[in-house]
Amino acid sequence: MKIMRFKILVPKLAFACILLGSLNLQGQSIDEALKTINQASLKAQLGFLASDWMEGRDADKKGAFMASDYIASMFQVFGIEPYGDMEYAFPLSGQRGYRPESKPSYFQKFNIIKYQPSDIQSFSLVKEINGSRVARNFDYGVDYGIAGIESNLEIEAPVVFIGYGIKYDSLKYDDFAKMNVKGKIIARLDGYPGYHDTSSPAYKKFKFNSLYSQKEKWAREAGAVAIINLSANPLKDFGRVTNLPFRYESGDVEADVAPEKYYDTHAILQSDSLQKSLPSIRISARLQKELLSIINVDLYNFENDAKINLKPASKEVPGLKVSLKTAIKSEMVSVRNVIGIIEGENKNEFVVVGAHYDHIGKYGGYIYNGADDNGSGTVGVLSIARAIKATGKKPQKTIIFAAWTAEERGLLGSNYFVNNFAGINKVVVNLNFDMIARSIASDTASNKCGFSYTKAYEGFQEMSQKNIKDYGLNLVVKYNPSERPTGGSDYAPFAAKNIPVIAFMAAMHPDYHKPSDEIEKIQWGKMENIIKLGFLNVYNLANSDLKTLRKE
């Protein structure tokens, strides 16, 4: 009956003409949308975001709030609707009988806790000798440093040598097997068997993604209360000297004293519970030597035996405890993501397109403008939002456009969104843009780009290759599939939730996290092509069934 209706209402030839005309119109709308992504527009937007007036866009500073106001205003200009927190206001100020009106804003606000170690620190090796308690004390910043703390803490616990502190089921290698580390401090060696010998069979057998986080997870699950990190090449001059050089010089900075640095202060999301990280202690060469003499382990022989025999050699350390006391100075500050939306025909499937807009601010008299990191990715998200709107077509899926904050503090903005967005289970894919406008020295044609993606969706690569070819984009893309992509950018929290991801990155260049990451070094043609590819991919993903892109 349906076929008969077409025959009656529309002759075959006419129907074919209408179909072809529709396809041509769609092609025309994409072509017109691509025209909005041009170097003049990119320069105008990035010129503002990477200007000295933004003061490096440190997440809780004035410059970041100015930048987020600008991003929100551009969303508004492009016709992108707000999708942040609800705001409430009385329609007539001071009038009784009126209920407050609510409407979404462009901002998703949240708090973070910034902290750094205080002067209250102590570390002691405690032994029982002939019935007496003997404690050898070491100084913070001279013989040890500590990370992974967010509150004042005191521990005195036995020590267990746990080898590398790894588990590898397929090789039946488990440093924790038959060892009780509950309530104890583990001493573990960096890496894994064969870590320092790339030619060894052991090195080739062990394959890890995000080894550091996995090692902490294993230690936490086993019940350890702290970690002492051992190294085959410990630092002899661990810590900071206090008198040399008399005039501080490092890179671009010259001063009478060493200036405060961005990463002297750490940050976490404010939440209703403490984080799960363990205190992680890094020690000096002399403290390591003293500790190993008590444990009775020669690291050189241990590493050789481990890479040859692939057998754990963990051991208890009778009569030894470590006493640790540490404290922090903290403050709570407010920050904000910028969130916009283009509502699709389907309001229950979301494509999230994001980039972090924060950078590392102003330190030591220098402004770290972060033109590439990540002004470029932020402009990419703005440009894609504008282009999607310019197609004049309502997408099948709903598209969320996000400018994340506090990425440099540990992906805090994207983590907050992933953990608090009510529709997170309806997000079908996340696309991330980070540092998309520079090249390494070997990229003489300035057209190489990295493309990391969720391996199960091999159609992501095929889709990109087709778009590059069909639209004549000057890009040579290195595709990096993995089961669950991890790394230091805002796609990682989505991947951790098993949400498929695509992550664009052009290059890790010498100006990374330096004041010299300036707009004068941006490669506009490369940036334009990556953003165009990003737009085409977003358009495809928002108007297709992702199941067709997944391998069976």
The per-residue pLDDT for range 135-154, each reduced to its tens digit, is 999 999 899 999 888 889 99
56 Rama sector, left if φ>0, alpha if ψ -120 to 50, beta otherwise: left
Which residue is it, tokens 């009510």?
422
Structure tokens at 126: 């405690």
Using CA atoms, how far apart are residues 26 and 15, in angstroms rounded to an integer? 17
Domain boundaries, the chain: 33-88+334-549, 113-330
Fold of 33-88+334-549: Aminopeptidase (3.40.630)
- Of 328, 333, 326, the C-alpha closest to 412 is 333
What's residue 9's pLDDT?
A: 36
Using CA atoms, how far apart are residues 517 and 51, in angstroms rounded to an integer? 11
Using CA atoms, how far apart are residues 3 and 356, in angstroms rounded to an integer? 51
Below-50 pLDDT ranges, the chain: 1-25
The per-residue pLDDT for range 313-330, each reduced to its tens digit, is 999 999 999 999 999 999
Using CA atoms, how far apart are residues 201 and 368, in angstroms rounded to an integer? 44
What's residue 131's pLDDT?
A: 83
Using CA atoms, how far apart are residues 509 and 515, in angstroms rounded to an integer? 13
- Of 440, 409, 449, the C-alpha closest to 508 is 440
Largest Cα–Cα separation, the chain: 105
Residue type present at position 233: N
Contact residues for 493 (Cβ-Cβ < 8 A; gap 6+): 411, 414, 415, 417, 418, 419
Structure tokens at 310: 């692939």
What's residue 94's pLDDT?
A: 57
Beta bridge partners of 269: 112
Number of other residues whose CB lies within 10 A of the CB of residue 199: 7
Please give the CATH architecture assigned to the domain spanning 113-330. Answer: 3-Layer(bba) Sandwich (3.50)
Q: Give the DSSP letter of residue 92.
A: S
What's residue 235's pLDDT?
A: 79
Using CA atoms, how far apart are residues 455 and 452, in angstroms rounded to an integer? 9
* Residue 370: φ, ψ to 5°: 55, 50
- Of 220, 218, 122, the C-alpha closest to 173 is 218
In this prediction the pTM is 0.86
